[in-house]
Amino acid sequence: MKKLVAIAALLMAGTAAHAGSGITFQIDGQRIHVEAPRNCNALSCIRISAPSYNGTIGNIDLKDLGSKSDDYDDVASSAPPPPAPPSAPAPVQAAVPQPAAPVAASVAPAPPPAPPVAVATAAPAPVDAAPAAPALAPAPQPVAAAPAPEPTTPIGVWATEENKGNVRVEACGANLCGFSEKTGERILINMKPDGSKWSGRIHDPNSGRNYDSTIAMKGPNAMRVQGCAFGGMFCGGQTWKRVS
């Protein structure tokens, strides 16, 4: 009964906004409808419809409901709560394939370590002493250049006595000839070798005559020049000195 009055009070409180509305529920399998007519603002005007009662809440007879008030309270309290609306199914997550376990590469077992090999320490080979370096021969002393051989022929330039001019003697074929350096005039003519002397003709530039003549070396730098006339009856001579 307490629950019925509470439901009626709630229904009456909402009549201002919902006049003529009602609530239907069941107690022990019996359908009960509570309705608040329009402009109803008291419990006495709340209408109740049940299998054994139809009237206002102010005229309720508990005996007509076929059970005690406590029974209504107990049944109402023991009524199972309305089933909860089915919850939305949880989204099914796609199963993430687990990565395949890495296949361990078949590795051949390492061979057992080889036993240590005893290395025979060879005795160091005897080192032959390096042969002593041969004594170096003393460097040869520089040989003094041999003096140039002294000239043994009349070839060269000669100075006449009393500085009357120089005569250049040179080979003319197999013989010797002499020329004045100033004028180029021939002084010694075809002097042929004859043992240690040379024989030929000599020209006198002062007289313009030619005489029989011989020349002979008196050392490397001196030469005796001689001329004869009339078949050797009258002879004269000079000693010339080498200039070069």
Among 42, 58, 78, the domain-final residue is 78
Taking 80 as the threshold, does the pLDDT of residue 225 lie above it? Answer: yes
The rounded distance, in Å, linking the Cα atoms of 14 and 40 is 10
Mean pLDDT (whole number) for 28-47 = 73
Domain final residue pick, 78, 106, 135: 78
Q: Dihedrals φ, ψ of 34, to 5°?
A: -115, 130
Q: Which residues contact 2 (CB under 8 A, 6 or more apart)?
A: 69, 73
Q: Residue 18 is part of which domain span? A: 2-78
Is residue 85 in some structural domain?
no
What pLDDT, on a 0 to 100 scale, did the predictor assign at position 68? 42
| Any domain includes 145 | no
Q: Round to whole Å and give the CA distance between 168 and 242.
A: 10
- What is the tens place of the pLDDT at every residue in 138-193? 776 766 665 555 568 899 999 998 888 899 999 999 999 999 999 999 999 999 99
Tell me how far apart the alpha carbons of residues 167 and 181 are, in angstroms, rounded to a whole number: 6
What is the domain count for the chain?
2
Mean pLDDT across the stretch 5-33?
64
pLDDT score recorded for residue 159: 94
pTM over 0.75: no
Residue 200 domain-assigned (yes or no): yes
Residue 52 has pLDDT above 80, yes or no: no
| Structural domain includes residue 237 | yes
Between residues 6 and 66, the one the model is more confident about: 6
Asked, for residue 188, whether it belongs to a domain, the answer is yes
pLDDT at 104: 40
- What is the H or E stretch that residue 244 is in? none
For residue 65, tell me if it sits in a domain. yes
pLDDT of 76 above 50: no
Whole-number Cα distances in Å, 145 to 54, 140, 141: 173, 14, 12
Q: For residue 13, give Cα distances in angstroms to 16, 39, 60, 73, 191.
A: 7, 11, 20, 22, 183
Q: Is residue 137 part of a domain?
A: no
* Residue 200 near residue 190, CB atoms below 8 Å: yes
Share the mean pLDDT of the chain. Answer: 71
**The domain spanning residue 187 has which CATH number?**
2.40.128.520
- Whole-number pLDDT of residue 121: 55
Domain termination residue (choose one: 78, 94, 109):
78
Is residue 183 a part of any domain in this protein? Answer: yes
State how far the alpha carbon of 171 is from the alpha carbons of 27, 188, 191, 193, in Å: 178, 11, 9, 11
